[in-house]
Chains A and B, each alone.
Chain A
Amino acid sequence: MTYAFIALFGFAFLLLILLAWVLRAPKRVSRPDAAVGLTEFSDRTHVTFFPQIKQALAVQDSVYLASLGMNALANRVRKERRKIALAYLDCLRNDFQRLWRLGRVISSMSPQVGTAQEFRRLQLGSAFSLRYEMIRIKLLFGFAPLTELGALSEVVSRLSIRMETAMQDLGERAALSAKLASSLDGRGLDVS
């Protein structure tokens, strides 16, 4: 009985905190009717650097340096390349977040947001975060998770493809409406 009361009390208190959180002004409001800061969605995606990262994380260079007896140099190279891989990972996450925000803006512009699509996007976001953290931990512990890194890059690419499909849908719908409106205008009909 007491546990139930504590749970209820805690839940109500949590709701009050959540209420304050949802009502506070957002730091930056994305306005669907304005130009949504297109500079943010620049074409500089870091996925393109994956082959270089793949090469940097490959063991051949370290093995070669170690075979020459330069163990200290091999270690230094490994550490520095790991740092680069971590930076790449961060950039990949930024790419993903930019696309994610873009998806949200598209959703708020679209009159037909598919529930299944939105859930898929949430699912994709969770999968990305999980993979990101796994790869990051692996890199921090000195492993070279190339396969996972490749998969993560693929998630970013899949999202961008989905965004394109969504934008195409919007574009087609807009074009259809414009066509319809112009044909009605042409017949001298008042559609207002």
Chain B
Amino acid sequence: MTSMPLSVQSVWACSILSQLIALTLLLLKRNASKIPFFTAYIALNLCQAGFMLVLVLIPTVSPGIFARLSWLAEAITLLAQAVATTEILGLTLRPYPGIWGLAWRALVAVSSLVVLILVWVSHARGIEQVWFQLNRGYHLTFATAVIACLALVRYYSIRVPSAFKMILAGFCLNSCVEVLVNTLIQVLFHKGYEVYQAAWQIVGMISFVATLTIWMVALWKPFPVDDRQIASPSDSAYRRLSPEINERLREINEKLLRLWKLEARSE
């Protein structure tokens, strides 16, 4: 049986409680059907906690196997996190298919760049460090990609429901804190993984509890009905707006054309 400090156990219990509240809110407020992958992500996190509990309670599990299985469970939840985030971003940008097309390309480009940089700067020694650095690399890539997408959303002045914004902010905050803590702890305690394991677990879990608190606030109310629509032919505002802008652009154009013709003649 792998021992766990009491402080880690307490924060872990808080984390599980927060996840349960978040899942309950998702189901009670009928938001689960709107964001099924996010709901699955929260449920997977709870499953992961249960799995870890079982591993802790089994006396025959060696620390090596415990670490490997823990990292495997973590990898699955991280994959679910990426899917849940894509779901939220997709919902945000669904009314704008063109911008969504641009966003996913930006996402791929930024992620590839970060992965390349991370491969270049990372020098892992031993399997523990490999897992550790993979985890940090994932969080860094994830946070960069989401922030790039949010920047694009801001650039195009797209209205994002505040609940979605809070969920994405929570994901990003958690990832950024993970990277900061991982890096700081690795620098401060470079004696080995075992030394800073407890501190890393506590800070990581506290950050996750903070993220869950943000999500609980976001999930407190049912999500509003998405009334965002791109301008359609039936949209009177668009029909009024489109020819008006077009007319003004044509006027600018004609003036410019006259100017160029004048310039050409004078030269």
Contact = CB atoms under 8 A, between A and B. Distances in A.
A160 B256 contact: yes
B186 interface: yes
B99 A113 contact: yes
A177 interface: yes
B64 interface: no
A174 B233 contact: yes
A60 interface: no
Contacts of A181: 233-234
A174 B242 contact: yes
Interface residues of A, number: 63
A38 B244 contact: yes
Contacts of B248: 38, 41-43
B68 interface: no
A36 B122 CA distance: 48
Interface in B73-114: 96-99, 101-102, 105
Nearest to A122: B155
B230 A35 contact: no
Contacts of A34: 237
A171 to B, nearest CB: 5
Interface stretch (B14-22, B44-52, B55-63, B176-184): B176-184
SS class, residues of chain B in contact with chain A: helix
Interface stretch (A7-15, A67-75, A86-94, A136-144): A7-15
Interface stretch (B28-36, B191-199, B216-224, B258-266): B258-266
Range, interface on chain B: 35 or more
B251 A43 contact: yes
A23 B140 contact: no
Contact of B245 (A8, A13, A167): A167
Contacts of B253: 157, 160-161, 164
A123 to B, nearest CB: 14
A31 B159 contact: yes
B169 interface: yes
Given A12-B140, A108-B99, A108-B158, A35 B237 contact: yes
B121 A7 contact: yes
Contacts of B230: 32, 108-111
Contacts, number: 176
SS class, residues of chain A in contact with chain B: helix
Contacts of A106: 245
A151 to B, nearest CB: 12
A174 B236 CA distance: 12
Given A34-B237, A111-B96, A8 B183 contact: yes
Interface string A5-49: 101110111011011001100100111111110100111010110
A102 B237 CA distance: 16
A167 B260 contact: no
A170 B242 contact: yes
Residue among A15, A16, A29, A36 having the largest count of chain B Cβ atoms under 10 Å? A15
Given A4-B121, A5-B187, A51-B262, A113 B101 contact: yes
B175 to A, nearest CB: 8
A107 B180 contact: no
A29 B159 contact: yes
A35 B240 contact: yes
Nearest to A118: B102
A58 interface: no
Given A2-B187, A41-B248, A178-B233, A171 B242 contact: yes
